[in-house]
Amino acid sequence: MEFSNPRSRNKCSRRRQPRNKWWLLCFVVTLCWGLTPDSLSQPAGEDVRAIRKVLEDQVAAWNRGDVEGYMKGYWNSDSTLFVSGGTLTKGYGEVLTRYRKGYDSRDKMGVLSFRDLAIKQLSPAAALVTGVWNLERKSDNPRGRFTLILEKKSEGWRITLDHTSSAEH
């Protein structure tokens, strides 16, 4: 013979129903009130345009042979990171030195272009950018992909992490 407590039966299978569902409706309406598509897209749209401008300014500086101008897209900080070819370069100064050494002539710099840019804003102060880079030079046309993290700093959007890879030729 089994004895059971009617209060303990099916405790696991029963869901607790709210006594008043109005609180849930009010919560959802309040949440949605501030998250309309217009309110979300306006600031993000401005930020995406600003991020695009940073990248366009980099391309323009590179194509006029201005490595320092190109570097203005990076955050001038010891925390800036650049990853490429299995090497991690830490700090704005070191990244600048790497670019100066690797691209010490207009022939080595070639003509830079970016394409297939995808910008995803992660927060009001952070964004993830992916794309394809291409250099047109007399001797070759190297290309590859990049992933950037940009952060909104007092001076505007700046690259804080750059992971760049080269494609097989």
Does residue 55 contact residue 129 with C-beta atoms inside 8 Å? yes
Whether residue 43 has pLDDT greater than 60? no
- pLDDT tens readout for residues 46-65: 999 999 999 999 999 999 99
Q: DSSP states of 22-90 as a string?
A: HHHHHHHHHHHHT--HHHHHHHHHHHHHHHHHHHHHHHHHHHTT-HHHHHTTB--STT-EEEETTEEEE
Tell me the two tokens of residue 41.
């897209």
pTM for this model (two decimals): 0.74
| Dihedral sign computed on CA atoms, order 67, 97, 140, 55 | negative
- Count the alpha carbons within 13 Å of 87 in the hemisphere toward its beta carbon: 8
Average pLDDT value for residue range 97-102: 97
Angle at 98 between CA 96 and CA 103, to 5 degrees: 95
Average pLDDT value for residue range 4-11: 52
Average pLDDT value for residue range 3-29: 48
Q: Coil, strand or helix: which one is 102?
A: helix
Whole-angstrom CA distances from 79 to 40, 63, 85, 91, 162 are 30, 27, 19, 5, 12
In the prediction, which pLDDT does 16 show? 52
Average pLDDT value for residue range 121-139: 97
Count of residues for the chain?
169
In the prediction, which pLDDT does 155 show? 96
Whether residue 41 has pLDDT greater than 60? no
Which of 3-7, 13-17, 115-119 reaches the highest mean pLDDT?
115-119
